[in-house]
Amino acid sequence: MSRRKRDDGYEHGYRKRRRVVSEQAEIEDRLESLIIRVGDKTSSSLESNLEGLASVLEADMNTYKSKILRILSECPIQMPEKCTIYSTLVGLLNAKNYNFGGEFVEQMVRNLKEALREGQWESARLIVRFISDMVNCHIVSASSLLQLYDSFIDAAMEQGVPQVRRDWYMYALLTALPWVGRELFEKKENDLERIMAAMEGYLRRRNTAHVAALRVWNCDTPHPQEEYLECIWAQVRKLRTDEWQERHIYRPYLAFDSILSEALQHNLPVILPPPHTASTQYPLPWVVFRMFDYTDCPEAGPLLPGTHSVERYLIEEHLHQIVTRHHNERKELATQLLAFPQRNKIPLEYMIVEVLFSELFNMPSPRYLEISYGCTLIELCKLQPSTMPQVLAQATELLYERIDTMNATCFDRFVSWFSYHLSNFQFRWSWDDWQNCLSLEKDHPKAKFVSEVFGKCLRLSYYKRVNEMVPECYSPLLPPKPEPYFKYQTEGGNGLPGATQVQALTELLRKKPTPEEVLELIQQLPNPLKDDDGDMEPSHNPLAIEVFVQTLLHLGSKSFTHTFAGLAKYHSVFKTICENEEAQICMLRQVYELWQNHPQFLGVVVDKMLKTQIVECCAVANWIFSRDMAPEFTRSYIWEILHLTIRKMNKHVVRLEKEVADARAKLRAAPSDSESSDDDPNREAGEKRRRTVSNKDTPKDGEEQPTEEMVERMEERLEAAQSDQKNLFLIVFQRFIMILSEHVVRCDTDGKDFNTFWYQWTVGRLQQVFMAHHEQVEKYSQTLETLLFTHDLDSNILDTFRQFQALRS
């Protein structure tokens, strides 16, 4: 009886508490929702919504203050396009409740300090902008904002720290000025001028060596490719000449001027930028991508804002923010882009296309997967079929026109995008317009573009289709039929060395022999490398490799799956006859011979061989740079293969680094076993068990605790992998230097200009290695500088390295 009563009481109290708690949670959720959705489309005006919401929040302030503070401080950062809406809202709250205003300012300052400490640069930048806008709403005093600006300028002037750090502090200021410039101009003109003068000085002294590496096109016609900081500086300077009158940003606080100007302002506390440490990562610089100007857009339509108008900056930033928010949902992204707030005042499709291409062509790499931009453009065409496809076609024409000066990395991406896009639209294109490329040499960028696009279209379709999609005149640029070339079955093929063994092996393989039986047959082949004296044991038997590799791969040529099955079953044979690098290069040569007309298949086979460790990364690198492959050197598939090879190596190292870091962390966190008393029999037994039970050196997640010994072994493996990685980069860069230097010397001797298409492509490919793998290459920058990229090198080659170094300096 009494128990039941007690239970009732407890449950009753519990349920009551739960009800109160859940009620509270409900109200909090509702407040959060109201705050998040303020400014979104409603039937009433924004002003009345703001007034209403300010009253609601003020009423609930006592109970829900911390929640309100948190949401209000996060919203303007999560939804930066609504910055001015939130500053107005906080302004109204501050007018009603001075203390709340003070606490909010403290919250923002805390958030800023944390963002700076944690290296969340974009958030920090948006916080600085929001704080600046808070001056417009009389929440923060202009003088204390200027103090903040001064401390940022001091940070920009600091000696002995990377330029990328100093740049950021400048950039944060510059991108806040459009919001608060006018207010500062009216109230603190002298201080504003002082700040502008400091920024001018900074920008004049800056190093811009990195720009060449980041430009999509290496020339400034028809549109200058400006470095991002230079561009915003020009835009802000123009704003200044307009007396800081900025008309694009929507400012709800103007409607509340009488209320807000009555409010008391708060002073920002001193905010000191956290010092630079070696491990701090700063955002990389970029070059502003420009492909359109107002002459490209229809005359009758709205005007495209000029390159140096602040409006251009604001709209582009907003479009990029929409991409950030919806980049994983292409339909939503396309919808939101097309629903851009001021879409009737601008040539929206042009700006969207320019922004998306700027992301696709971003150097060193796009923010998101290349294909995401491609399918977003397709969605846009679906949603706006009367305008988007035309703008996209116009853009494609422009890109083709200017392809002569496009860097190799972006060239690849353009080829990839265009062929992918065509594959979604039945490969229809006005090929006639591009016939001029047929009279150009094969290595000319235009001719190369068309032939590479054909190659990619072939991969996404089939031979007959590609032939049918273009006018006949294009046949010189069309790829060959993607079939294996099995020389033993050609005219006179049965007279070739090894032909009989090929026949024998083919028949044997049809009977599904064991790897040992296959090995037995191949090892009977004579070795053409063997001297008659038989003194030196050759490193490999090229004839055996030739016969085995070509026969096996030919039998598996029907599909990837067939080939993979063959590679798997006879893996041990590969390992036996291709032990060293020379043998592996010989093998790659055989693979190439068989699949020379089907670059896709070649790449997939090499990839599989790397995965199953039949071939080492260094062998692939040396094979690519070998004399045999020289005729193919400017073909894109070669570089596809090199980059997949480097990526494999990088992934391997990164994975081991993570494993070691995780294991070390686990070791640190747990009580140290090695220090434990030796006389605990259970623990000793436990350790022993751990050591014998785990065959792998890495403990699985959440399972056993790693021992010091295990971690040391992991570190050894990591060191070995890093050494392999360094070696790979050394080989690649050294071969580049050799091949480029040879070319320059040869041209010198022959009295010819060295700046041929081949030379430009090769320098471009060198640059591509730096850009595509910059994070990993960075680790070996010192070594590269000491060993390879020395002062005596040809300046063009050295420049590529210097530009790469300038990325983070």
Partner 1 sequence: MAVASTYRDQHFKGSRVEQERLLGQSCTLYVGNLSFYTTEEQIHELFGKCGDIKRIIMGLDKFTRTPCGFCFVEFYLRNDAENAIRFVNGTRLDDRIVRTDWDAGFIEGRQYGRGKTGGQVRDEYRTDFDGGRGGWGKMIQQKVATSAANN
The residues that touch partner 1, with contacts defined as CB under 8 A, are 328-330, 369-372, 374-375, 378, 416, 420, 423-424, 426, 456, 459-462, 559-561, 564, 600-601, 604
Name which of 231 and 772 has its Cβ closer to partner 1.
772
Question: 327, 247 in Cβ contact below 8 A?
Answer: no
Residue in 363, 355, 271, 267 with CA at minimum distance from that of residue 316: 355
Nearer to partner 1, 122 or 329 (CB): 329
Whose Cβ is closer to partner 1: residue 454's or residue 780's? 454
CB of 320 to partner 1, least distance (A): 19
**Among residues 316 and 329, whose Cβ is nearest to partner 1?**
329
Helices (DSSP H) in 60-120: which residue ranges? Answer: 61-78, 83-96, 98-118
425 Cβ contact partners less than 8 Å away, ≥ 6 residues apart: none
| CB closer to partner 1 out of 409 and 416 | 416
Residue type, 298: P
Query: Cα(394)–Cα(349) distance, rounded to whole angstroms?
Result: 11
Cβ of residue 610: shortest distance to partner 1, in angstroms?
11
By C-beta, is 418 or 780 nearer to partner 1? 418
> How far apart, in Å, are the Cα atoms of 443 and each of 58, 83, 105, 762?
70, 50, 60, 11
Residue 689 Cβ, how far from partner 1 at the closest point, in Å? 29
**Least distance in angstroms from the C-beta of 372 to partner 1:** 5
Shortest distance, CB of residue 549 to partner 1, whole angstroms?
20
The amino acid present at 199, given as its one-letter code, is M
Minimum distance from residue 389 beta carbon to partner 1 (Å): 15
CA distances from 642 to 45, 635, 757 (A): 59, 12, 20
Residue nearer to partner 1 on the CB measure, 183 or 659: 659
**What are the CB-based long-range contacts (under 8 Å, 24+) for 257-262?**
259/92, 259/95, 260/88, 260/91, 260/92, 260/95, 260/137, 260/138, 261/138, 262/95
DSSP lists the bridge partners of residue 406 as 217
- Minimum distance between the CB of residue 465 and partner 1, rounded to whole angstroms? 9
3-state secondary structure of 266: strand
- Residue 207 near residue 354 (C-beta atoms within 8 A): no
Q: Tell me how far, at minimum, the Cβ of 778 lies from partner 1, in Å.
A: 23
**Min separation Cβ 769 and partner 1, Å:** 20
Q: Helix or strand or coil: residue 780?
A: coil
Q: Whose CA is closest to 728, among 629, 658, 651? A: 651
Q: How far is the CB of 16 from partner 1 (least distance, A)?
A: 35
CB of 382 to partner 1, least distance (A): 10
Cβ 551 to partner 1, closest distance in Å?
22
Task: Quote the radius of gyration of the chain (alpha carbons, Å).
Answer: 33
Q: CB of residue 379 vs partner 1: minimum separation in angstroms?
A: 9
Least distance (Å) from partner 1 to the CB of residue 426? 6
* Token pair 């000319």 in the structure block, residue: 444
Distance CA 543, CA 501 (A): 10
270 or 371: whose CB is closer to partner 1?
Answer: 371
The dihedral sign for the CA sequence 215, 218, 222, 224: positive
Question: On the CB side of 613, how many CA atoms lie within 13 Å of its CA?
Answer: 5
Q: Give the whole-angstrom CA distance, residue 628 versus residue 615.
A: 18
8 A C-beta contact, residue 407 and residue 764: yes
Residue 763 is encoded by which pair of tokens? 């320098």
Between 76 and 566, CB nearer to partner 1:
566
CB atoms within 10 A of CB 383: 14
Q: Report, in Å, the least distance between residue 369 CB and partner 1.
A: 6
The nearer residue to partner 1, 620 or 711, going by C-beta atoms, is 620
Whether residue 727 contacts residue 618, with contact meaning beta carbons closer than 8 Å, is answered with: yes
Written as six digits, the tokens of 336 are: 């939101």
Residue 99 CB, nearest distance to partner 1 (Å)? 42
Provide the 8-state DSSP code for 216.
S
Residue 354 in contact with residue 289, Cβ under 8 Å?
Answer: yes
Q: 413 or 808: whose CB is closer to partner 1?
A: 413
Nearer Cβ to partner 1, position 604 or 731?
Answer: 604
Distances (CA, A) of 271 to 114, 141, 264, 334: 11, 15, 21, 40
Least Cβ distance, residue 424 to partner 1 (angstroms): 5
Residue 600 or 781 having the CB closest to partner 1: 600
Which is nearer to partner 1, 286 or 601 (by Cβ)? 601
**CB nearer to partner 1: pick between 369 and 473:** 369
Identify which of residues 560 and 757 has a Cβ nearer to partner 1 in the complex: 560
Residue number with CB closer to partner 1 (142 or 378): 378
* Distance from C-alpha of 759 to C-alpha of 81, rounded to nearest angstrom: 46
Nearer to partner 1, 344 or 561 (CB): 561
CB hemisphere CA count around 798 (13 angstroms): 10
User: Do the Cβ atoms of 274 and 117 come closer than 8 Å?
Assistant: yes
Q: What are phi and psi of 303, to 5 degrees?
A: -80, 140
Closest CA to 135 of 74, 172, 177: 177
DSSP string, 592-643: HHHHTT-HHHHHHHHHHHHHTTSS-HHHHHHHHTSGGGGGGTTSHHHHHHHH
CA 645 to chain centre: 18
Cβ atoms within 10 Å of 278's Cβ, excluding its own:
5
The distance of closest approach from Cβ of residue 563 to partner 1 in the complex, given in angstroms and rounded to an integer, is 10
Residue 207, SS3? coil
Alpha-carbon distance of 347 to 353, in angstroms, equals: 10
